[in-house]
């Protein structure tokens, strides 16, 4: 096995291989999240879309590895891992920190290959030009738990189990450090279409911050607002699937016509 294939195997999860699908969708998890969070989304989109979910270092089966706590390095490593899979038609979807990471990987792809995803789906985080700073990564354990309780997305039982907290907090703290200390470097907008999805009661993303994603593309832009908070997609997974699948299907149908 080559170094490249080992890197890809460590980073990329194919829960529902669909080699005959006309498009691949690369999923970028949220801060503290793992590839398995996207298992239901992968299941719902297969076999029409082949889903690749990224597994960052420092969690689950990669828990023994050191977390990458700065976003540029995380984007570099993620780009290296997914590049072998971008040999056909593909799109990106990222939630929370993952939306900014997906954007950064798309920028690297443009610089390196002059290529871009068919569509970029950003979810649950302010536009790169509107990134807020934060201090969650500096808080003590109780402070981090308060943050996780506020935003949701973490099983409450995990937050009450000290052994589980000890296992998941390093990745959460590292990811929060990566996104909270990240500074956007101005660059030309992407040329691919972009859809921004957000909950109308997200404590971390105002509708104005969500709408600002339109400044990062010269392509078609759509803003989809759902009832709910930061993890609105847990309650509205079917609607999110319909948005993603319908968007990609219409795009491919138009291209084939």
Which amino acids are annotated catalytic? Answer: 96
The residue among 205, 202, 243 whose CA lies nearest residue 127 is 205
The residue among 69, 91, 103, 75 whose CA lies nearest residue 11 is 75
- From CA 41, how far away is CA 38, in angstroms rounded? 5
- 117-129: b (≥16 Cβ within 10 Å) or e: bbbbbbbbbbbbe
- From CA 107, how far away is CA 79, in angstroms rounded? 10
- From CA 74, how far away is CA 76, in angstroms rounded? 5
Degrees (nearest 5) of the Cα angle 173, 144, 26?
50
- From CA 57, how far away is CA 133, in angstroms rounded? 23
């Amino acid at each position: 096995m080559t170094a490249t294939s080992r890197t890809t195997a460590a980073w990329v999860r194919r829960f529902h291989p669909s080699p005959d699908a006309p498009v691949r969708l690369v999923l970028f998890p949220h801060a503290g999240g793992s590839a398995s969070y996207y298992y239901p989304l992968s299941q719902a989109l297969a076999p029409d879309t082949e889903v690749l979910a990224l597994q960052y270092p420092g969690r689950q089966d990669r828990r023994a590895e050191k977390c990458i706590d700065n976003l540029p390095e995380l984007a570099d490593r993620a780009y290296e891992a997914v590049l072998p899979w971008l040999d056909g038609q593909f799109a990106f979807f990222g939630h929370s920190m993952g939306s900014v990471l997906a954007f950064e990987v798309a920028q690297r792809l443009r610089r390196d290959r002059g290529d871009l995803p068919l569509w970029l789906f950003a979810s649950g985080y302010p536009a790169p030009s509107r990134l807020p700073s934060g201090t969650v990564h500096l808080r003590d354990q109780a402070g981090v738990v308060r943050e996780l309780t506020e935003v949701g997305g973490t099983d409450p039982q995990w937050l009450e189990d000290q052994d589980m907290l000890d296992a998941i907090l390093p990745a959460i703290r590292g990811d929060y450090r990566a996104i909270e200390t990240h500074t956007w470097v101005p660059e030309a907008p992407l040329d691919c279409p972009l859809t921004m999805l957000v909950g109308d009661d997200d404590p971390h993303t105002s509708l104005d911050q969500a709408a600002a994603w339109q400044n990062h593309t010269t392509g078609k832009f759509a803003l989809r607002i759902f009832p709910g908070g930061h993890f609105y997609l847990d309650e509205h997974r079917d609607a999110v699937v319909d948005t993603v699948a319908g968007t990609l299907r219409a795009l491919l149908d138009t291209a084939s016509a």
